[in-house]
Each structure stands twice: as structure tokens, then as C-alpha cells.
Structure 1
Amino acid sequence: GAAAPLPFARLQPRIARKTLTKKVLADSPAALLAYDLLEAHGEDLRMTPLVERRARLDSLAVSLENPLARDLLRVSPLVCGADWQALAALREESRARGVE
């Protein structure tokens, strides 16, 4: 897959069509980039600590049996900052990193 997300405009040809040709699929690749796991097997995880939800998301991603599903589910890398200022700086540069 691509190293960074492509512009949303590249996804629009996929959205507008009922039938996707091989060319459209090749020209407009798509994947699910997951940041968090809020529900699993009918269980609401919203009150579960983020560290545990993230561990469950990572586990889910590697346990998928379908090779296509494994390829299309991407888990976002963790972004850490020493303090709120560091996180604010990361947010400011998100567009330049292609993750806005």
C-alpha cells in the first residue's frame, strides 16, 4: 500500500460507482485505517481504557484469517508526545505528514 493516505479526491471515483472496474480499483486504492476499537463482538468498549482497546485492535488486525481483510485493515501508528505542547505541534504538522 501507499506510505501515506492519498487525497480524498482519489477516492471519489470509487464512491460514485455501483460497479468497480479493475482500473478504478487500481487507480483509487482504499483501505481502512483504524485508530481505536470501540466495539468488538457486540461488546461496547468505550469505557475500557484506551491502552486495552488499542491492544485489542492490534490483536484483531493480526488475527484476521482472510488475507484481503488483513491487507485492507491498517492500524494507525501510535503518536506520542511528552506534553500537550508537543502534541499540539504534531497536530499542526499533520497536513505536511499526510495524516490530516
Structure 2
Amino acid sequence: MSEQSSQWHDLADRVEALALKLKLHVEQASTDREVADAIGRLRAEVDDAFQAAGNAMHDDAVRDDFREVGRLLTDALDTTFTKVDAQVRGLFEHRAGQ
């Protein structure tokens, strides 16, 4: 199993464990069967969503989109930090000149 797949499985396991803990707390606080059923359905839906996300990562187009989003995010952060760096340097230069 690749590291990426392992990470998705770890995340899905954590979400499932969290959902179980929440379900137990709700069941302790309430005997209302509808609430317990709703929690069960929510857990199943979250599990399905993570399964779909994991499956999507096997799609080359999805992986390419993730890479492009990552590249765009990196470029945006780089531009922002370069601008902040220039502003901070200007502030220090201004204060040093006073």
C-alpha cells in the first residue's frame, strides 16, 4: 500500500473511530432510536465519502488536478510571502532611517 493510500485509510479509520465515540455519547445521553439511527447513517455517509475520495486518487485526472492546485497554492503563497517580506524590509529600513 502506498503512503498516500495508507494516509487515506488512517484518516478513514480515525473518522470511523470518532463517529463511534460520538454515537456512544449520544446513546448514553438519549435513548431516542432515531438519533442513534441518524448517527449510524452519518457514519456510513462519511465512510462512503472517504472511500470515494480514496478511489478518486486513482484517477489520473484527479491527481493532475491536485498537483495543479498544489502548484497554484505554492505560487500564491510565494507571491504573498515575497510581498510581506518586502513590506517588512521597508518598514525596518524606514525605522532605521529615522
Give the TM-score normalised by the residue count of structure 1. Answer: 0.25
Greater relative contact order (CA < 8 Å, ≥ 6 in sequence): 1
**Is the radius of gyration larger for structure 1 or structure 2?**
2
| Bigger helix share | 2
| Bigger strand share | 1
